[in-house]
Amino acid sequence: MKNRIVYKIVLTAMFFALGLILPFLTGQIPAIGSMLLPMHLPVFLCALICGWQYAAMIGVALPLIRSLLFTMPPMFPTAVAMVFELLTYGLITGLVYLLFKRKNILSVYISLIAGMLAGRFVWGVVQYILLTSSGKEFTFAAFIAGAFTNAVPGIIVQLVLIPLIMFALDKAKLLPFNSK
């Protein structure tokens, strides 16, 4: 039991490090980075592999630490809103995945989509609160653009790459995942 916890902590640290590093791949072109959502991938993977508790922790820490270390994303309102968004991704994706007895592609997709929808909703609520409290406007059109329209490339990457990674981990016998 203790070894399993240490294993999850080590994997969580790896996912956290990935979350710090991946945005550098798209960081030279901020518009590409905001479309590909590189910090989201490690949170989703952590939720599926380590569990909701670990993913929720890195979901909170990742945008804050990255903002403090590299000033990207900007702390207000972006990083603050991302804290709640990534926390929700990790929490919902991990909890929904936990409900499935059989871990397979379908359970991964259902968990990811549930997490994505919940996280984007939470992001919108937090953005609305942050922006309106600072005297700015956050319309429904801005929510749709920020949560869905501009994020389509990242959503596609997540829905293709994450199940492929889970499948590869199963084939390598590194994860109890039934791909059938």
How is the chain split into domains, by residue range? Answer: 2-171
Provide the CATH topology of domain 2-171.
Answer: Arp2/3 complex 21 kDa subunit ARPC3 (1.10.1760)
- Nearest C-alpha neighbor of 49 from the set 175, 146, 138: 175
Distances (CA, A) of 146 to 16, 71, 84, 118, 166: 24, 20, 15, 14, 28
Which of 23-37, 50-64, 83-97 has the lowest average pLDDT?
A: 23-37
Contact status, residue 178 vs residue 104, Cβ threshold 8 Å: yes
**Mean pLDDT score, 129-158:** 93
pLDDT at 2 (0 to 100): 75
As a whole number of angstroms, the distance between CA 168 and CA 175 comes to: 9
DSSP SS3 for 58: helix
This prediction's pTM: 0.94
**Mean pLDDT score, 101-108:** 93
